[in-house]
Amino acid sequence: MRAKDFILKAHKNSIEKGSFTWSSPSNIALVKYWGKKENQIPANPSISFTLNNCKTTTTLSFSKKENSNEFSFEIFLDDEKKDDFKPKIETFFKRIEAYLPFLKDYHFKIETSNTFPHSSGIASSASGMSAMALCLMSIEKALKPEITDEYFTQKASFLARLGSGSACRSLEGDMVVWGKHNEIEASSDLFGVKYPFKVHRNFKNYNDTILLVDKGEKQVSSTIGHNLMHNHPFAIERFKQAQNNLSILIDTFKTGDLKTFIEIVESEALTLHAMMMTSMPYFILMKPNTLEIINKIWMFRKATNSNICFTLDAGANVHVLYPENETETVLEFIKNELVAYCQNGHYICDQIGFGAKLINQTV
């Protein structure tokens, strides 16, 4: 597929109004996307677990309008009008207009809500942008019913990527790869694909407990963060390493080797932060409690031979990953030893999930 294959051309149907509701989850990267080229093309491939409980539900209502000169939309978060979200949606619409020429023909009402608190430091861009992209693709499907399910999902992921890169990994489960990798034939820089190979039962229902260390606004926006990889002294090596780490994980998912999984996942998290610490300008996004938690996890692993590990996003919160058969012991450990480092004791229990769902439609 090339980008131009996603341009909606002639369609027979015309629709006056309707609405679609999709729910779409967040995802947690194991090999991280950090650095991009023009048009949201990633500098390296990434792979993620799709989450189950952390998700956004979006209803997109649309009605035909008189003139088609400009975008027209309003946006509500938890029933409250959110004009400060408008510039983000405007930018998104501009980026995807060429692929969805009907965008200026309608007025849109976007009503969205998240299962996780807005000010939790958990990015809602992956779940939010993927839910939006799916609603828009439902309109395309209503206009052109003959598009295939495969095309629907690929184009929804393609559009979500133009909203926020990591969003293209949120549509399907339970693992998604985004970015060209030579061992994964169907992989693409343009959209996420379901992980195509065998996955050992050790990874079934894998847990992700998210420890909310710092619920504040992001210190560094992802756009600024990705840009720091331009002319970064370690960029070329980092992009090669990500390719290689994905190769190692492919093998690990086959054999079920949790020790190697832990090594790669923790190294990826720390490398992501190392890239931020060694860019110009430089940032430290971990907080003292992030390091306390990491050390406690390492001590617990050593003492009990557990397969617990951590990963990080571009912030201070810690994702604690562990296999299903350790749920009880690790949760006990989290409650006894880690919750003290969370802001107001807050954490979210999640696990691998299976992607987005159409909740409602009226056309």
- Would you tell me which residues interact with ligand DP6 (CB under 6 A)? 29, 32-34, 40, 46, 123, 125, 164-166, 222-223, 226, 272, 313-314
Q: 223 or 295: whose CB is closer to ligand DP6?
A: 223
Check if the beta carbon of residue 35 is closer than 8 Å to that of residue 29.
Answer: no
Minimal distance, residue 29 CB to ligand DP6, in Å? 3
Q: How far is CA 179 from the centre of its chain?
A: 14
Nearer of residues 225 and 323 to ligand DP6, judged by Cβ: 225
The distance of closest approach from Cβ of residue 312 to ligand DP6 in the complex, given in angstroms and rounded to an integer, is 8
Determine if the peptide bond prior to 281 is cis (ω within 30°): yes
Strand partners for 327 = none
Task: Work out how close the CB of 185 gets to ligand DP6 at its nearest, in angstroms, rounded to a whole number.
Answer: 21
Which CB, 229 or 330, lies closer to ligand DP6?
229
CA angle at residue 69 from 65 to 70, to 5 degrees? 85
Choice between 40 and 245, CB closer to ligand DP6: 40
3-state secondary structure of 93: helix
What is the C-alpha separation between 272 and 226, in angstroms, rounded? 11
Instruction: Give the residue closest to ligand DP6 by C-beta.
Output: 165
> What are the structure tokens assigned to 143, written together?
């206009």
Closest by CA to 273, choosing from 254, 292, 286, is 286
Q: How far apart are CA 97 and CA 95, in angstroms?
A: 6
Q: Which is nearer to ligand DP6, 169 or 296 (CB)?
A: 169
Q: Least separation, in Å, of the C-beta of 10 and ligand DP6?
A: 31
Q: Which is nearer to ligand DP6, 226 or 232 (CB)?
A: 226
Q: What is the nearest approach in angstroms of ligand DP6 to the Cβ of residue 192?
A: 11
Please state, in angstroms and as integers, the Cα–Cα distance from residue 349 to each residue in 175, 287, 306, 343, following that order: 18, 21, 18, 15
What is the nearest approach in angstroms of ligand DP6 to the Cβ of residue 164? 3
Longest dimension (CA), the chain: 68
Token readout for 177 is: 């790869």
